[in-house]
Chains A and B, each alone.
Chain A
């Protein structure tokens, strides 16, 4: 409830500050339209055609249900990786040995391309939901893990000493000292992971699933239907933009009001 109030309080000023962002998005549209006029609708349909198709998909077609399936997979995988990555990263960060040992492992995870994980996942999980879920999880996990690790490693020893001299009980140490600090590292990593999950889930569905946005994209590709392709892409990107800039960003602003403004 409190969080909701924070979110609502920051919203009007935040939306007003969004004009610049909207202007740059409109520029992108203009570039899109220019390219489509230059090369023709088969290569790239113009934005109006794409949005018209999208409207059709959403209003009467499979739009919402496919998006819901994709969103469910992406968010489940993301949630799993956020929980596992935050907890394990925190634990690893508290021990010098564990953080030294886990760093190269995380680099290996980061360096392995998601498509390689996808191939493995297809072998392990087949065409079930497990394939996109696992791929999203494994692609997001190292990001969140590293964020949590950094957060725990950079815990200010001075503040920790202060907390001890003031005899803060464990609950206060966690909620008043450690968590706020950790959140300032975790939050950006969660946002980055959200972007990754969204991209990876579409890729996984395209190759391994029979439903979801990815599968719909595969179908439209095989029919050379670029307008539908662009419609799906717009839907996915638009949803990501909406989640990040309408939910996470204003929330983050309110939660991190204590931060000195970046010069």
Chain B
């Protein structure tokens, strides 16, 4: 444990200020889960989940398949009755995007996008107009919008599903591994669309993924879940703002994250080889944060802050 912890240290973790940051967040949180648990029959799938999310923030839940991520999201979305703990969602509107596009096959892309608007009682012409505007921004032309889902490629269907959620201008967007079946180019494109929308509207995002790189790229905080029963084993705060994360930063930070013993345990990876492993963090230091002392730029720059105690005690100081 200790040697692994020092590896994280090598990747450049700082441990300062995490505790009080959390407190501030809890105060302002518009979505708050405390002590949430769930069981399917006798099988406990979730236990003691605490989570807070404030407007404009992105929180990623990562973990292996079957660790209860989707159950947790369904609880937040109100698709499952809450059995244990409390969930308070003070966001004015919530929208969901699922792992599969889940489009209505008998409706055109445009009608699918406008589904939520129709539920709100918007007129047909207005709905079509909104779908057209948003579709255009998401790379869906008028001819694509007139097609039925089976006539669209998988990537196009995902765009339609994303548009269907975004057209509602939700304050909170719940994402359940929505990009997991897409190729890397398409993923990057949709990430950008999501980030753009988020920046403009101050939308909060709670996303589920088993793709660590996706979590590192998109989120402000990463919650690592462990199965049996599902619980949060690690809370990480990402340091750089979304706009400052280039590919190199994402690769390096993901590699560093993969050295975390909790993450390795969660995904059932064998323990990291001891100190011999040189982390990619050393290859090329990322740009220093604004206002950081110059000396710090040379040293490996921390990518994460760990919010919970266990490792912090052992981590070597890499403070600037």
> Which A residues form the contact surface with B (CB < 8 A)?
158-159, 161-162, 164-169, 172, 176-177, 180-181, 256-260
Contacts and interface: CB of A to CB of B under 8 A. Distances in A.
Nearest to B148: A258
Contacts of A256: 106
A164 B77 CA distance: 9
Interface stretch (B6-14, B93-101, B198-206, B259-267): B93-101
A79 to B, nearest CB: 25
Contacts of A177: 104
Contact of A159 (B77, B102, B174): B102
A166 B95 contact: yes
B107 A172 contact: no
B290 interface: no
A181 B164 CA distance: 20
Contacts of A176: 104, 107, 115, 118
Contact of B98 (A158, A180, A260): A158
A210 B139 CA distance: 69
B186 to A, nearest CB: 21
B244 interface: no
6 tightest CB-CB pairs across the interface, nearest first? A260-B150, A165-B96, A258-B106, A180-B106, A258-B148, A162-B102
Given A159-B102, A180-B104, A258-B148, A169 B119 contact: yes
A257 B146 CA distance: 12
18 contacts: A159-B102, A161-B74, A161-B79, A161-B98, A162-B96, A162-B98, A165-B77, A165-B78, A165-B79, A166-B95, A168-B115, A168-B119, A169-B119, A176-B118, A258-B105, A258-B148, A258-B150, A260-B150
B55 interface: no
Given A164-B78, A165-B96, A166-B95, A259 B105 contact: yes
B116 interface: yes
A165 B76 CA distance: 10
Interface of B is mostly: mixed
Contacts of A167: 116, 119
Contacts of B94: 165
Given A165-B78, A176-B104, A256-B106, 6 more contacts: A165-B77, A166-B116, A167-B119, A177-B104, A258-B106, A260-B150
Interface string B148-173: 11100000000000001000100000
B148 to A, nearest CB: 4
Interface string B102-144: 1011110000000110110000000000000000000000000
B172 to A, nearest CB: 12
Contacts of B168: 166
B320 to A, nearest CB: 44
Contacts of A172: 118-119
Contacts of A159: 102, 104
A158 B104 CA distance: 10
Contacts of A181: 106
A158 B77 CA distance: 13
Contact of A158 (B95, B102, B115, B148): B102
B98 A166 contact: no
B68 to A, nearest CB: 17
Given A161-B79, A162-B102, A165-B95, A258 B107 contact: yes
Contacts of B102: 158-159, 161-162
A145 B118 CA distance: 32
B115 A166 contact: yes
Contacts of B77: 165
Contacts of B116: 166-167
Given A167-B119, A176-B115, A259 B98 contact: no
B267 to A, nearest CB: 26
Nearest to A165: B96
A167 B105 CA distance: 19
A40 to B, nearest CB: 55
A257 B108 CA distance: 10
A165 B164 CA distance: 12
Nearest to B93: A167
A164 B80 CA distance: 11
Interface in B49-102: 74, 77-79, 94-96, 98, 100, 102
Contacts of B107: 176, 258
Nearest to A179: B106
A53 to B, nearest CB: 47
